[in-house]
Every structure is written in C-alpha cells, then in structure tokens.
C-alpha cells in the first residue's frame, strides 16, 4: 500500500499544552507520532511517497473561506496582541453559530476554535496544509487506479467542522479525501474507527445523502466530544438516514467493537458506495493514554480485515493514536489485516 507523508513539514506544528478538567497538561498530539507511525509503515514494506502540493482547492471544497483565512493568518495577528499567550488559545466562545462574526483576533479565535485542545503556533498552518495534502494525494492515487492508499495525516482532522477546529484537528482530512473521491464516485462512505466520535465529519455531511458517515466510538455521554456522537443522530433534511453512530460503553474490548463495526458495515453495503474512506484512530487501543476503549493489537488487524472485506477502493486517513509502546505495532496490524483481505473489482 502506498503511504503518503511529509514528515518534516507535518512535524513543525508542535502544540505544547491543553486543558484537561481545567488544568494545563502536556499536549499528547506531538510530532513524534509521525516518526513512530512512519517507522511502522516503512518496516511493513509499504511504499513511502511525498504528497503533492494541491494548493487550497481540496481544502476549500470542505471549509469556508473565512475559516481558511483565519487558520492562515491568526498566529501573526495574535502575536501582535500585548501580553498574548505564545499559542492561539480561545478564552471566549459564542453561544451559537449564527452569532455575529467579529473583527477581533480574540473573538475570531473563539468563533473558530471549539475548545482548548487545538492551539495554533507559528508553523501550524503549514503543517495543517501538508496534512491535507497527504489526504488529497492518497485520494488521487486511488482515483488513478490504486486499490488503497494510506495518508499519514498529522495533525489529525475528524473533529474539524467546516469552520471550526477542535480536539487537535483543524482541517478535516477525511472529508477532503471524500470530496476528491466524489469527482468520480456518486456515493462515498466514511467509516470512523477512532476512540472519539468524528463530530466534525458528521457535521460536514449531516445534511447530505451522497456521503454516508458511520462512526464506532466510546459513548460521548461522559466522554469527548460530549455533544455529538449519540445514537439518535441520524442526519437532517436530505441527509436523514445517512449518518450512523454506534457508541460503545467505556472499556469495550475487541468483540464489542467488531460487533458494532459489523452493523456499520451492513449499512455501508446497503448504501452501495463507489469508494471508502477509513478514519483510522489507534487510540481505541487498550494501552492508549486516553484509556477509553480496550481494543487489542490483534483487534486492529481484524478491524482492518473487516473494512477491507467491503472490496472498495479505499483511503485510510490517520486520526488519533498517541504515544505508547504499541503505537507502531497497532498501525502495522491494521494495515496488515487490511491488505490481506482487500480485493477490488
């Protein structure tokens, strides 16, 4: 499987802290994640390739112009504020998306950043763009005939809405890939197997019937992202019935995860998509620092095999999965299980 990564460009985004239960903690979304995952992909014999620079086109197909201007320029604007923090971190938020759009850098930070887990530093925008370039390049490879491709996206993306960052995410890489695939395929499915619900991905496609969104994740009733990811959220308008959430109790192991995934894949099969995007989170692992679910390394192999069983042209987009001894092993298990069972017509 071809792997797209721009490690030196993606690693320049280096958020230092985020708030957990009101207390500052070291941010786990660190550059070393790229090194660990790339080492595992290389050791597995996968073809490592540099992504092309696709410009703003693939990103602009998903995100609003004012949001992209914000991401590109907010750090330099923030740095001009006397006494401002070293990273852009919001301290005020509107109570609704329909609120007026301010000129203030502080106000725009609150409007475009859902939480304190997505600090923006001097080099963040460049890394965000190259992460999205990985997704777009993987999608182009699949459109060009590759049966599957893996985009080692970092920073991740599935918590990013059309105009809102959150949860370490800025540009929604899975949505970028899906929109590139839509150039050829009338219907595309996104299956998210991250520990956390892909709330941004859900939001982007919630009123659409051309992209099916399915997410298996820890129950958000007492877990991030809290406000999205519940089973009753099915879509709206034309998108009603095209969003499926499969929340799991905290601590669920392989059997429960795979059972939920099977139900999700039945819905994917009924949707009859032309291509598949997998939002791959390795943070569902039993030893991940977030500790929400208890999927084993072997479990990731079986998850990969189940997804491959759909027999669709597929893009795997890296989402979560944080530093632990088994991080690389978990990626290797997923890719190995996926490749062993993946056949396309």
User: What residues act catalytically?
Assistant: 159
DSSP structural state of residue 91 = -
Q: What is the DSSP letter of 9?
A: H
Sheet holding 243-248, edge to edge: 47-49, 2-4, 148-151, 314-318, 275-280, 188-192, 211-218, 243-248
In angstroms, the CA 22 to CA 40 distance is: 35
Kindly provide the b/e burial profile for residues 198-236, where b requires at least 16 CB atoms within 10 angstroms of the residue's own CB. bbbbbbbbbebebbbbbbbbbbbeebbbeebbeeebebe
| Six token digits for residue 21 | 């239960």
d(CA 282, CA 260): 17
- Name which of 140, 150, 129 is nearest 68 in CA terms: 129
Q: How many residues does the chain have?
A: 345
């Amino acid at each position: 499987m071809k792997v797209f990564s721009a490690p030196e460009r993606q690693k320049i985004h280096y958020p230092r802290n985020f708030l957990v239960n009101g207390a500052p903690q070291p941010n786990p979304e660190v550059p070393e994640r790229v090194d660990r995952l790339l080492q595992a992909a290389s050791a597995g014999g996968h073809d490592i390739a540099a992504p092309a620079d696709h410009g703003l086109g693939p990103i602009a197909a998903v995100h609003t112009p004012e949001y992209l201007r914000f991401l590109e320029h907010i750090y330099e604007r923030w740095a001009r504020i006397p006494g401002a923090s070293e990273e852009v971190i919001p301290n005020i938020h509107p109570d609704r998306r329909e609120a007026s759009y301010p000129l203030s850098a502080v106000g725009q930070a609150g409007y475009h950043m859902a939480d304190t887990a997505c600090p923006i530093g001097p080099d963040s925008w460049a890394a965000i763009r190259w992460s999205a370039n990985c997704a777009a390049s993987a999608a182009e490879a699949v459109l060009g005939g590759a049966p599957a491709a893996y985009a080692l996206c970092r920073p991740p993306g599935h918590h990013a809405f059309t105009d809102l960052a959150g949860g370490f995410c800025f540009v929604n890489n899975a949505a970028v890939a899906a929109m590139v695939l839509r150039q050829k395929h009338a219907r595309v499915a996104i299956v998210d197997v991250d520990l956390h619900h892909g709330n941004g991905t859900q939001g982007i496609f919630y009123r659409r019937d051309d992209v099916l969104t399915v997410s298996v994740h820890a129950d958000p009733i007492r877990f991030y992202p809290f406000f999205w990811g519940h089973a009753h959220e099915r879509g709206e308008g034309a998108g009603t019935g095209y969003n499926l959430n499969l929340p799991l109790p905290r601590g669920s192991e392989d059997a429960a995860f795979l059972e939920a995934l099977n139900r999700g894949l039945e819905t994917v099969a009924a949707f009859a998509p032309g291509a598949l995007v997998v939002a791959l989170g390795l943070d569902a692992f039993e030893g991940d620092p977030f500790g929400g679910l208890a999927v084993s390394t072997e479990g990731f192999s079986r998850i990969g095999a189940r997804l491959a069983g759909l027999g669709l042209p597929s893009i795997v987009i890296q989402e979560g999965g944080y530093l632990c001894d088994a991080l690389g092993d978990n990626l290797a298990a997923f890719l190995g299980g996926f490749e062993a069972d993946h056949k396309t017509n």
